[in-house]
Amino acid sequence: MAEYTIREVLTRRDLKRFIRFPVTLYKGCSQYVPPLYKGQEHELMHSAPLQYCKRKMWLVEDAGGKVAGRICAVINPRYNEKYGTRRVRFGWFDLINDPEVARLLFDTAEKWAMEQGMDEIHGPLYYNTLGRQGMLVEGFDKLAPFSCLYNYPYYVDIMQELGFVKECDWIQYMMPADQGVDERIRSIAARLMDKYKLRVADFDLLKKDRDTVRKFFRTYNECYDGTVYNFIPFTEAEIEEEIDQIIGQLDRRLCCVLMDEDDEVAAFGISVPCLSRAMQKARGRLFPFGWYHVLKALRNFEHLDLMLEGAAPKWQNTGISAVFHGIMASQYKECGARWALANPQIETNMAVNVWTRYEHKFWLRRRCWIRTIKER
């Protein structure tokens, strides 16, 4: 049996090793997409959720000092208060194919969590609902979306061996982006636009209007709260961070925001070009040459990742989804996009049924695992 030691990540050297371990682990894996190193460092050290979350990171090393595994344990008090739980979440979880490494990582994380009063551990999860989460359990031969996690099949076997069970699954569908919508839906959308006095926001102007973007995120909070499993509404600090980091990069051709007659956000659909191949070429860095591959992918694309869509509570069940689906389908066709991958959605969410109206096929399945914390 191999000998392993575990150490908490406390120095910049350890943080660098923590962030870069997956690059070594997945070397030669054509499905793995590396995140940006700087982005990972920001998330782990300076991200807005750290204003209210507690987190610790650990590395496991073999006898030769080589990294064999990593884990980040996060306690989100807003989540626990909202759902009446005492859970610690784990993320940034990667390891070689050895259950002993996983056992050492989880035992250490759970010991800390017990000291904080926690009684369950679940994941892989991000601080909030918008980050990378869910362990891949089906679709290992598929290229990972940049916004999602990838892992080897042996991760699933190890989780089961350690007594973790399924908490929930997310599924993703692949669809032709140029299929358009049938004439009946197009007709319904036109009538709804007229009936409710809806208008399509000028997305380029919207990106420059911080107050309207804040309205967008507040609508995001309202439409997902109570309808999306384990959803955690954004704080004002998280909203400001997303505005600074994400909104300015979005392409108006791939987004749709509907405003009502009171100039409030009624519904939205956000998608982005698939950046997976570009990020593989960038190898975790935008400089000196990574930016070229990313910029090229943003300008010339055939594949899309559908990121977010929703409607304000008062507009739900009005058929408003037909409006922005119709608008976005037309935009996709004009852009020359051929395929679109839907964002992960809880398999029990009835909203998933919206894809049955369109040509689609099952693509990926991700899982959140859970187990009770106890002395081991």
Distance between alpha carbon 280 and the CA centroid of its chain, in Å?
A: 18
Sort residue 136 into left (φ over 0), alpha (ψ -120 to 50) or beta: beta
d(CA 242, CA 237): 9
Rounded alpha-carbon distances, angstroms, from residue 333 to 232, 303, 304: 34, 12, 12
d(CA 274, CA 302): 8
Q: What is the pLDDT of residue 248?
A: 84
Q: Name the amino acid, one letter, at 97.
A: N
Q: What is the pLDDT of residue 188?
A: 82
User: Helix, strand, or coil here: 55?
Assistant: strand
Full set of structural domains in the chain with CATH: 4-169+368-372 (3.40.630.30), 178-337 (3.40.630)
Q: What is the pLDDT of residue 302?
A: 93
d(CA 161, CA 242): 38
Q: What residues in the chain have per-residue pLDDT under 70?
A: 1, 350-356, 376
Q: What angle do CA 7, 58, 165 make, to 5 degrees?
A: 130
Q: Where are the beta strands (DSSP E) in the chain?
A: 4-8, 54-62, 67-75, 87-95, 120-123, 135-138, 165-176, 199-200, 255-259, 265-273, 303-311, 339-341, 345-346, 361-372
**Residue 62 near residue 112 (C-beta atoms within 8 A):** no
d(CA 247, CA 213): 8
Q: What is the pLDDT of residues 160-181, one digit of tens each?
A: 999 999 999 999 999 999 887 7
Q: What is the pLDDT of residue 11?
A: 97
